[in-house]
Structure 1
Amino acid sequence: MKSNLIHFCIALISITMCSCDNSGTRIGSEILYPKELKQLHKNVIEYYLNLENDDEIIEELLQNFQEDGSWTTIDYSNKIRGGWPVKNHLKHVQSLAINYKNKDSKYYLNKNLSKKIYKSLNYWLDNDFLSTNWHDQHIGVPELLLPTLFLMEAELSEEQLEKAKVLLDRAKIKMSGQNKVWLSTNVMLRSLLLRKPDSVAIASKAIQNELQIAKGVGVKPDWSYHEHGAQLQFGNYGLSYLEDMIKCYSFVHNTPYHFEANKIEFLRNIILKGQQWILWKDTYDISASGRQLFENEQAKKATRLKACIHKMKVLDKAHSKAYDDALDSKILSGNKHFWKSDFQVHRTKDFYFSVKMSSKRVVGTESVNQENIQGYYLGDGVSLLSTSGKEYENIFPFWDWKKLPGTTIIQDNKPLPIIKFSDFKTNSVFVGGVSNGENGIAVLNYNRDGLKAKKSWFMFDNKIVCLGSGILANTEYPVTTAINQAFAKGGIVIGKDDEVETNVRKRKEINPDWLLHDNIGYLFPNGGTINLSTNILEGSWNKVAKRYRPVILTEHIFKLWFTHGKQPKNRKYNYILVPNATEAKLKDFNKNKPFKIENNEALQSVETTDGTLAGMVFYSKGTSRIKGGISVNQPCMMMLEEKANQLIISVSDPTHKLTKITITISGNYKANGSQYVHGKTQITLQLPKGDEAGKTVQLELQKQE
């Protein structure tokens, strides 16, 4: 009897000591965390419980649930590298756990649901499903597993937690950019689950260290985002980076591991100076999406970005008006050149236009995990114009990938090569842009696979002048320049010599003055051999990404292109894009030319007829006739804007190699360092260096009497 009493007292003391253990433990259904981790744990739980929960989704999941803990809708033998569908199992378990712990769900603390969560979690832990992609094991699986472990911790057995720990331990802090953020977040949450404050601190610091301008992959000085080398990845890794940084900021808020004060400003700049530029009418720019050209993906990415903006409104209340404006496509107008990414955007409240280029510096795109397998030319001057936001929505199965809008391509009969991401470069050096924030010019001195062409885009107010010269190739196949390739919508109107033809569907080798389709006008000031079709085409998502079944679909596609013939030599083209055009507008522009244009191998220039705005691409040192004569001593890009007695000059170096440039202008102007000699003003501009090489430099000249 005495012995039993002693044992009972020892047990009671043990329980009491366990209940007060400040290191954190689990007592019955109560979860305890050490003091320094309590707020972090609370934030994590609140974050997951605030994720969208839908009882109808749970009902559907339960209908397909099997007694062994699996789902009938999942093929567990699938090993595909990209979009591994077996991970949906963990997504389903997470959804069950969120609804189980959410007081607003009818499944809140439902015992039957708890059993199914237990079974489904065991099904994964016992089988440890593996894909052939390292990303799934080190990043994807731990990321999807952790929410369930936190939400269900009080009901999990020690055996379950030990098995889960094996899977979580695969995440290590390494790599850089978004991969490092993913891995570090997994390590931080695993450390929280294991009650390891020191490891939480290390992981939190690793995440915050990626919230800075990156020397390699990550956020660049122009607020674009790179991953997998110098490659624009706004919508793939860059969007995930933004989402995860906001998530981690929410996790560590009001904890010892909180973000430094300047990090919220950095996140703000990522959105307002970067991401918002490529969001247009609930659509995310194709050219900013990386390799993820999936079904409905442009709308999904837009939704994800908008969700980030809404969250930032809460975290950064002082700038809520700016975030509201970012959510309205009609607010942001102007021009931005991302000089680190060979990418330029021009937009107004009525239209969106972008040009994506590549060079020896910048990778144009990538094809990884059998995704984007037709995208060989996606970085070769693709020019997308949208007014409705629907022109290219899910167009990928039907695109002629050798006639992407804006590109000049050899039309051979070979299949497009699938190559490593580092090989999606051109041999071009003179690639870049100049921008004054309102208007801009992009240039691509194209050199790839034996084809050369000097291509430029002058984005002036509500029109885009597209020029090509010096087109050269020794090939037995025709060379074409694609003007556009979008969904056909209604009839086409063609104007020639004051005569108008309506409801046109198809034409070969025509020479119109202008053409109108789906509210977009095409002006041809110097003519050219143009082809037009609106055929019903067959296509399949399987030809875009192998994750899709080879189902054949059909659509009407509008396609417009120049033909330059075989073995072209010094061929050229010239066309003007007019968003929101009408027949009356096009007739007027054809009669009263809006621009003076020069287009040759040495110089491409555009000047408005009133002379207030002009742009020049100097492919070599030389002189333009604009403003009575403007000379440069180095190849460069220049824009001029005349205001009262001012001449505002914007200059950039597309090679990113020059340190200075000397400009000579007819007339007497004054600025710091200027010299007036023999009726001409000369000034030497210092150009940006290092990470800012290629950025626009502006100078204001005062006209002297």
Structure 2
Amino acid sequence: MKIILILLLAFGLVMAKAQDRHTFDRIKKHVYEDELQSSAAHGDKTTIWINQLTEAGTWSDIDYTSKSISLWPPGEHLDRLRALIVAYVSPKSKSYQQKSLYDKIVRAAQYWANNRFESTNWWHNEIASPKAIGVCLILMKFGQEKIPATVETALVKLMERGDPYKRTGANKSDIAMHYFYRALILEDASLLTAAMEQLLFPIQLVDGKEGLQYDFSYLQHGPQLYIAGYGEEFLKGISKVMAYVRETPYAVNKEKLALFEKFLLETYLPIIRSRYIDFNVHGRGISRPDILRKDQEVAILQQMQLIDPAKNEIWKKGLAKLDSIQAFNAEDQSLHRHYWKGDYTTHLRKQFHFNLRLASKRTNKSESGNGENMLGKNMTDGVTNIQVFGPEYYNIMPVWEWDKIPGTTTRDYQGDQELKEQWGVLAANSFSGGVSNGTIGASAMSVQYDGLAAQKAWFFFDKEIVCLGSGINCSAAEPVVTTLNQTWLNGPVVWNGKEQMSTDSLVRNVKQGEYVMHNQVGYYFPEAMKIALTAKEQSGSWYRINRSRSKDAVHGKVFKLWVEHAAKPVNGSYAYIVVPGVDQIDKRAMQQLKIWHNTPAIQAVEHLGLAAIQAVFYESGTYQIGAWSIQVDKPVILQITKGNSVFKLDVADPLQQEKAIRIHLINKNAKVNQIVEIKLPQAEYAGSTSSETIPTGNK
């Protein structure tokens, strides 16, 4: 009996090892297939790299001594080695399983194994290089001849960098990814289990810490908005590994998959318009060429087709959105959302996107770091992204005038000012927030930065966005400006629907009711003010905003429109209405918009056609807004919309510190006289919208 038990135990161990080996083989095959599919674009470059490899296993055009922070030249060696390996292991390659190519691969691999190249940027050392080594070694498992054991051992040793347990968000996943590769190479089940635990750990909601937030924004480098950039890396890395381990014991569970898909489908993909993402969500990455065009997201969606085939129709729609053949306005949507953890607002329509970036004492301002985003000091001060076609801002950053970022109120310096704070710092203002019912809403921010103060609010209705500024004060010598837009010039600039701009710059005192049209975006002025406009070539270079990029001159014609407040304004103000996705302003539609207040205490707008009132209360008090008398006991952003025999009241706390708010509503015409006590969301939901129904006496 004892012998039988021993034999059964031994048989069980053999079967377990066989199962483990089967699992490892399956996962490695998935890696192999994915890498071959994503490497198809190298083409002629691979042939050149094969021919240019020296007898020492190097490429003469790579500076192996460089320790550069951003674009690190030695890393190119591993990229080329991977391309050579793909050519060797791909059945579609002309060099498939060629002995001469194998010998060159071994030389290049041996050269890297014999050295320890280091960048002064930890990311290259602890993430990029170990991941690249891992991919190379796994791919070589599918070669007719394998990497010599001594070389593989030395390279695996070089992968032992970084600690995922000490990192957060996308950085945690990136380090865990090369632990995952190392586990596959060594067929180490314990290491694979640990790597998977760390890889999937970031798929959880966190409150203000780095990672995926309860509002489904994404923060990294402190509480700094990074829906793209680090959020994008989160999507790429985790979708990849989830696809690798599908149909194995390591497959992701339903709960984590649901969170991951919600971020992808409800936050990330919606803010891409015709392949181009909102520049507000890319942090310092906007100083990199081509960053706003989203091509690699195709790979994410292809992975999701493998991971969750039940949603294949959804993934197909996403892929169609990233296809350049699909029309820019093909997606039918009517969405409004404020991200109370990320200080970010999106207003999405079939005809346009209008998105807004704010900041507060709870979130970091835009960062500079590694020599990137050198001029982005105002990138969180009420920055607006207006897209009709998609590429309005694509690669415009080298030629931007950086103190005239769209949407901002700033000092107009003689030259662009560098951002001194590295890696982001908390904004100085407490007041920042937004209210939303999912379709329309209002957002506001009390700017306190660079010696300038302003109350800025945006009222998002269906087709129109009313932009108000009040309490603009600055004692500095520079003039103060509010920029409506600064985008690529595309077509004529037309005043009031008839007068085409004939000069490249002008300053004009506009009258109430005048407007400017450019590139299917209208800018309507509901009151007289001094406007400046340029439509001419601007120049710059990528180097001036990113020290690792080219100093070559970049030129392009730019449309730039702003309000001039003059120097040292005291209680200055502005009002303008943006109507995107149109060829002409409808004056009758503009009459439906009533600006009732634009003061440091309150900003309020009514849309008569929608029967909607939106108001930003910076102070407690009683205010008349159209037919409504509204008394609030605390600062609040609110919205009133009319339903069937009821009114809906939406409120949000822009300070995120109140437990309740008391509102007294009187509307004699609607026979409303009601005091409403609203408990406000707390903890991770502080700042989100609360709603109440107000009955009307009218039947």
- TM-score normalised to structure 1 length: 0.90
* Aligned-pair Cα RMSD in Å: 2.5
Deviations 1:449-472 (A, max 9, x none): 221100011111111110000001
- Partner residue, 1:364: 365
How far off its partner does 1:210 sit?
A: 1.7
| Cα distance in structure 2, aligned partners of 1:82 and 1:24 | 43
How far off its partner does 1:132 sit?
A: 0.9
Please list, as runs of the form range in 1=range in 2, the aligned pairs for 1:376-415 lying within 5 A after superposition. Answer: 376-413=377-414
How far off its partner does 1:122 sit?
A: 1.8
Residue 426 of structure 2 aligns to a residue whose secondary structure is: coil
* Unpaired segments ≥5 residues, structure 1: 1-19, 26-31, 671-675
- Partner residue, 1:286: 279
Distance 1:44 1:503, change over 3 A: same
- Partner residue, 2:231: 238
Distance 1:422 1:65, change over 3 A: closer
| Cα distance in structure 2, aligned partners of 1:21 and 1:72 | 50
| Cα distance in structure 1, aligned partners of 2:389 and 2:291 | 14
How far off its partner does 1:296 sit?
A: 4.2
| Cα distance in structure 1, aligned partners of 2:669 and 2:96 | 75
- Partner residue, 2:628: 628
| Cα distance in structure 2, aligned partners of 1:311 and 1:698 | 39
| Cα distance in structure 2, aligned partners of 1:317 and 1:102 | 26
- Partner residue, 1:182: 174
Q: Choose from 166, 185, 190 the match for 1:193.
A: 185
Contact 2:274 2:389 in 1 (8 A): yes
Deviations 1:593-638 (A, max 9, x none): 5434421111111111336122100111122323431222111001
Contact 2:638 2:652 in 1 (8 A): yes
- Partner residue, 1:48: 35
- Partner residue, 2:199: 207
- Partner residue, 1:487: 488
- Partner residue, 1:8: none
How far off its partner does 1:323 sit?
A: 3.2
Residue 113 of structure 2 aligns to a residue whose secondary structure is: helix
Residue 96 of structure 2 aligns to a residue whose secondary structure is: coil
How far off its partner does 1:192 sit?
A: 2.5
Contact 1:667 1:681 in 2 (8 A): no
Deviations 1:506-553 (A, max 9, x none): 212432511111221111111211111122222111011111121112
Higher mean displacement: 507-516 or 354-363: 507-516
How far off its partner does 1:63 sit?
A: 4.3
| Cα distance in structure 2, aligned partners of 1:111 and 1:21 | 36
Contact 1:285 1:298 in 2 (8 A): no
Higher mean displacement: 268-277 or 414-423: 414-423
Q: Choose from 108, 121, 125 the match for 2:113.
A: 125
| Cα distance in structure 2, aligned partners of 1:500 and 1:554 | 27
| Cα distance in structure 2, aligned partners of 1:97 and 1:437 | 50
| Cα distance in structure 2, aligned partners of 1:144 and 1:274 | 30
| Cα distance in structure 2, aligned partners of 1:520 and 1:46 | 45
- Partner residue, 2:241: 248
| Cα distance in structure 2, aligned partners of 1:390 and 1:47 | 30
* Unpaired segments ≥5 residues, structure 2: 1-12, 322-329
Contact 2:285 2:291 in 1 (8 A): no
| Cα distance in structure 1, aligned partners of 2:477 and 2:162 | 53
Contact 1:409 1:481 in 2 (8 A): yes
Contact 1:669 1:701 in 2 (8 A): no
Distance 1:297 1:333, change over 3 A: farther
Higher mean displacement: 164-173 or 500-509: 500-509
Q: Choose from 218, 229, 235 the match for 1:225.
A: 218
Distance 1:477 1:43, change over 3 A: same
Contact 2:596 2:625 in 1 (8 A): no
Distance 1:72 1:614, change over 3 A: farther
- Partner residue, 1:3: none
- Partner residue, 2:665: 665
- Partner residue, 1:10: none
Deviations 1:90-149 (A, max 9, x none): 111112212321222222212222122112212222233211111111111010111111
| Cα distance in structure 2, aligned partners of 1:416 and 1:438 | 38
Please list, as runs of the form range in 1=range in 2, the aligned pairs for 1:75-90 lying within 5 A after superposition. Answer: 75-90=63-78
Residue 543 of structure 2 aligns to a residue whose secondary structure is: helix
| Cα distance in structure 2, aligned partners of 1:579 and 1:253 | 43
- Partner residue, 1:168: 159
- TM-score normalised to structure 2 length: 0.90
| Cα distance in structure 2, aligned partners of 1:72 and 1:555 | 36
- Partner residue, 2:694: 701
| Cα distance in structure 1, aligned partners of 2:624 and 2:93 | 70
How far off its partner does 1:71 sit?
A: 2.5
Deviations 1:283-338 (A, max 9, x none): 011111121124543344x2222331232133222223333444536233311111
Matched, 1:113 2:101: yes
Matched, 1:260 2:253: yes
Residue 541 of structure 1 aligns to a residue whose secondary structure is: coil
Residue 529 of structure 2 aligns to a residue whose secondary structure is: coil
Contact 1:491 1:503 in 2 (8 A): no
- Partner residue, 1:352: 353
How far off its partner does 1:342 sit?
A: 0.5
| Cα distance in structure 2, aligned partners of 1:239 and 1:505 | 39
Higher mean displacement: 126-135 or 503-512: 503-512
| Cα distance in structure 2, aligned partners of 1:316 and 1:230 | 31
| Cα distance in structure 1, aligned partners of 2:268 and 2:637 | 26
- Partner residue, 2:265: 272
Matched, 1:37 2:29: no
- Partner residue, 1:12: none
| Cα distance in structure 1, aligned partners of 2:352 and 2:131 | 38
Deviations 1:638-669 (A, max 9, x none): 11211231211211011111111112212499
Higher mean displacement: 214-223 or 420-429: 420-429
Distance 1:557 1:322, change over 3 A: same
Question: How many equivalent residue pairs?
Answer: 668
- Partner residue, 2:149: 158
Please list, as runs of the form range in 1=range in 2, the aligned pairs for 1:307-318 lying within 5 A after superposition. Answer: 307-318=299-310
Residue 598 of structure 1 aligns to a residue whose secondary structure is: strand
Distance 1:157 1:594, change over 3 A: same
Whose Rg is larger?
1
Deviations 1:206-247 (A, max 9, x none): 222221112411100111111110011111111111111111
Please list, as runs of the form range in 1=range in 2, the aligned pairs for 1:436-515 lying within 5 A after superposition. Answer: 436-495=437-496, 500=499, 502-512=501-511, 513-515=514-516
Amino acid at match of 1:173: P
Residue 603 of structure 2 aligns to a residue whose secondary structure is: strand
Amino acid at match of 2:481: T
| Cα distance in structure 1, aligned partners of 2:391 and 2:469 | 28
Contact 1:507 1:531 in 2 (8 A): yes
Distance 1:228 1:116, change over 3 A: same
Residue 273 of structure 1 aligns to a residue whose secondary structure is: helix
Contact 1:326 1:332 in 2 (8 A): no
| Cα distance in structure 2, aligned partners of 1:334 and 1:420 | 35
Amino acid at match of 1:211: I
| Cα distance in structure 2, aligned partners of 1:23 and 1:139 | 32
How far off its partner does 1:23 sit?
A: 10
Distance 1:321 1:658, change over 3 A: farther
| Cα distance in structure 2, aligned partners of 1:610 and 1:185 | 53
Matched, 1:70 2:71: no
| Cα distance in structure 2, aligned partners of 1:634 and 1:504 | 49
